[in-house]
Amino acid sequence: MPYTIEIQPSPEGGYGARVVELPGCISQGMTLLEAVEMIEDAKRAWLESALEEGISIPEPETAPGYSGKLLVRMPKSLHESLARQAKKEGVSLNQLVLYYLARQAGTPLRGGRTRN
CATH placement of domain 5-111: 3.30.160.250
- Predicted local distance difference test score (pLDDT) of residue 114: 41
Higher pLDDT, residue 26 or 112:
26
Cβ neighbour number for residue 8 with a 10 Å cutoff: 17
**Mean pLDDT score, 70-86:** 90
Q: What is the mean pLDDT of the chain?
A: 85
Q: In this model, does residue 111 exceed pLDDT 70? A: no
- Predicted local distance difference test score (pLDDT) of residue 64: 65
Q: In this model, does residue 82 exceed pLDDT 90? A: yes
- Predicted local distance difference test score (pLDDT) of residue 102: 78
DSSP string, 27-48: EEESSHHHHHHHHHHHHHHHHH
Q: In this model, does residue 116 exceed pLDDT 60? A: no
Strand partners, 28: 16
Segment 47-68, tens digit of pLDDT:
999 999 999 999 887 766 666 7
Q: Provide the residue ranges of all domains of the chain, joining segments of one domain with +.
A: 5-111
